[in-house]
Amino acid sequence: MGKSALTLLTCLLLACALASVPGNSETVEYDFPKVNILEGDLFVVTLSPPVENIQVYVKGSEKKDFSLLVLTNSSLAIPVLTGRVSIVQLIPESTMTNLTVTFDSNTTVKMLYAILTNNYTYYRRVSSEYYTFSNGILVILQPQLTIPRGTSKITFILNMVSVKSSGGFLIELPPLATILPFAAAVVILAYLNAYAIVDSYYLSKREELSRSRKLGVALLIVLSALAIYWLFNNFVKY
């Protein structure tokens, strides 16, 4: 009788221990409550490696159409992603859009989300990581997640911002409005460098140039090159 009671107690303890271990059917949820996206831009979610049973649900605040593309096993040519990936692409049309992605995976999954745009000026304050393609600039947003194996659910709340209402200097300027100031700065710097070099040349005909003079001209050339590089990266590339 005592042996039967001990066996029963052991079974009960084992059952309790097994019941306390999370099952594989549990869904891990991730929420991104507010992601600003310019009107007409493409929202991208990537899952690496490719996942199984991917389902996508889109609900807008207004009854408007949207453009959605789901690629279960594709590729994206950027350094932070290697191999095959699952990709969700969405162009929202509503002011507020709820995008929910659910999937299963037998291994750890790297998730990143990004926005494909032609106006990096707007997004530069939230991300400095981007890749340039023929059809736009892919801006990588943070955070990037490492999701454990199992069933997962990711929800994004997309807040569409009108280009007209984005305000101030966040609106992308016409090409001439950025190229002309850059060109003027280049002309001024080129003139200063040319004047310093020519003046030093004629001065060297009359007397030997001092070491400080040579260093000054060399420093002017280097600083001018750095200034042009900075101006190019911060203005012309948009």
How do residues 85-130 score in pLDDT, each as one tens digit? 999 999 999 999 999 999 999 999 999 999 999 988 889 888 889 9
H helices of 29-130, where? 120-123
Q: How many Å apart are CA 55 and CA 68, to the nearest integer?
A: 12
Closest CA to 37 of 111, 114, 135, 102: 114
For residue range 13-23, list pLDDT tens digits in order. Answer: 444 433 333 44
Task: State the pTM of this model.
Answer: 0.59
The residue ranges of every structural domain in the chain are 24-168, 175-236
Q: Pairing mode, if any, of strands 27-38 and 150-161?
A: parallel
How far is the CA of 1 from the CAs of 5, 7, 43, in angstroms?
A: 6, 10, 67
Q: Whole-angstrom Cα distance, residue 113 to residue 139?
A: 9
Cα–Cα distance for residue pair 48/37, rounded to 1 Å? 23
